[in-house]
Structure 1
Amino acid sequence: MIETNADDSEIAKFSALAHRWWDPESEFRPLHEINPLRLDWIDQHCALSGKTTIDIGCGGGILAESMALRGAHVTGADLSEKALAVAKLHLLESGAKVEYLKIAAETIAEERPAHYDVVTCMEMLEHVPDPASTVRACAELAKPGGAVFFSTINRNFKAYLMAIIGAEYVLNMLPRGTHEYARFIKPAELSRFAREAGLDSVEIIGMHYNPLDKRYSLGRGTDVNYLMRCIKSA
């Protein structure tokens, strides 16, 4: 039996806010604002239409649903019943088709090995006890030659100032306590996790927030938020 790689307190934290997931002015506003950016980046590299895709840690379904609307055949996996209930309810409004499952990444990887063309795991690795285990599960889910996308937060003083002090205490963009600095992951660490899981890291790109115009952009510099694109070795 696979031991679940999850933190009950983290699940409870996001479950308590689940009813606000699709409110673009709520605590999830940053996810709504970055979603077009990350969606276009993923679509640009793997042409989502017609692809079998799974979003690990899908929460209320913001990314999963948007990939489905681009024509992908999407599975969303999460351990929060409340978040998944909200995700399923929103499908009635959007008309999108997504298979939502309450299941751990490691469990579905055992059930569906090498099943997906595209695997996404965004803003989740910093919330699990063993991120390397999640990376391995994502690798196992991908077909040989498939694309795997991660996003997370770097671990350094600048990231602490920007992602915790700035975002949670100064700008109030996120609820206080959303992130724990010790769980942030350096790009070199994530690259090692990926390599050990049989993934080739082909791109690392930073995600930047400009507090003056309140806009996000992708570009050089991975000091705080960053995304990684990997290909599963054939």
Structure 2
Amino acid sequence: MNPSINADPAELAKFSDLAHRWWDADGEFRPLHQINPLRLAWINGLCPLNGKTALDVGCGGGILTDSLARSGATATGIDLSTKALRIAQLHAMDAQTSNVNYREISAEAMALEQPAGFDVVTCMEMLEHVPDPASVVQACATLVKPGGWVFFSTLNRNPKSFLLAVVGAEYVLNMLPRGTHEYAKMIRPSELAGFCRAASLNVTQARGLSFNPLTQRYWMNADTSVNYLLATQKPLSS
């Protein structure tokens, strides 16, 4: 595992420029606010969060991290965007969320510092934005305790996903800023599952996330062809 910074400067700049909009539920990050209750319920259903230690990798402005803390976990969010982390910290102060903290550190560096340090690790909507996603998966596996859970979400790479998640979401419906996603960086479920197996994580569940633009409703299902989530667990012994 390479402890050097696994980040694309252009990606960091892109999200830093939007940092002040993280907690605007009707702004550029509206989709994250809309799907957050779904993914939180899914995580909490598989691994009840109350009393757990949780790490949110690539936390951005802290939308999921804050929810992990509100569900009873002692939550830490890490990211490499200074501006996004400042927004997350300000929100935590304003909301008086005491069981959450944020750090500017990479997943790989955190793994060297706190191996097997967390009951739950989440890495949502982040892998498609880094040069080496397998390295992040390995870091997440190192960070979680034996028997603990690691949750991932990302975008599939296929023509349907390109049409819906890039052309549709970014250029037709304007749900996301143009250039948010690059097709070549999207990750097929089989590829992500391979990264997980190489990191000694057992894939226990795969779920899809669908959206109806007419009703503006998201829901989880078995269709992993566009947006999908993987639940993985670290064996109690190797």
Query: TM-score, length-normalised on structure 1?
Result: 0.99
What pairs with 1:89-168 in structure 2 (closer than 5 Å)? Answer: 89-97=90-98, 98-168=100-170
Alignment partner for residue 176 of structure 2, among 151, 174, 177? 174
Q: Could you tell me which amino acid in structure 1 is paired with residue 7 of structure 2?
A: A
Alignment partner for residue 205 of structure 2, among 203, 206, 209? 203
Distance in 2 (CA, whole Å) between partners of 1:102 and 1:216 is: 31
Distance in 2 (CA, whole Å) between partners of 1:157 and 1:69 is: 38
Distance in 2 (CA, whole Å) between partners of 1:94 and 1:198 is: 37
**What is the CA-CA distance between 1:220 and the residue it aligns to?**
1.2
Q: Please, what is the CA RMSD of the aligned residues? A: 0.8
Secondary structure of the structure 2 residue equivalent to 1:89:
helix
Give 1:191's aligned residue.
Answer: 193
Distance in 2 (CA, whole Å) between partners of 1:79 and 1:93 is: 22
Range with greater deviation from structure 2 (87-96 or 159-168): 87-96
Distance in 1 (CA, whole Å) between partners of 2:211 and 2:22 is: 21
Cα-to-partner distance string for 1:182-206 (whole Å, 9 max, x where unaligned): 0000000000000000100010010
Distance in 2 (CA, whole Å) between partners of 1:114 and 1:224 is: 31
Counting aligned pairs with the same residue, the percent is 60
2:65 matches 1:43: no
**What is the CA-CA distance between 1:2 and the residue it aligns to?**
2.2
Distance in 1 (CA, whole Å) between partners of 2:139 and 2:188 is: 19
Give 1:76's aligned residue.
Answer: 77
Q: Could you tell me which amino acid in structure 2 is paired with residue 189 of structure 1?
A: E
**What is the CA-CA distance between 1:233 and the residue it aligns to?**
1.6
Listed as ranges, the gaps of 5+ residues in structure 2 are none
Moved over 6 A (4+): none
Query: TM-score, length-normalised on structure 2?
Result: 0.97
Cα-to-partner distance string for 1:14-71 (whole Å, 9 max, x where unaligned): 0000001000011000000000010111111110011000000000000000110111
Cα-to-partner distance string for 1:103-141 (whole Å, 9 max, x where unaligned): 000000010000100000000000000000000000000
> How many residues end up aligned between the 2 structures?
234
**What is the CA-CA distance between 1:94 and the residue it aligns to?**
1.5
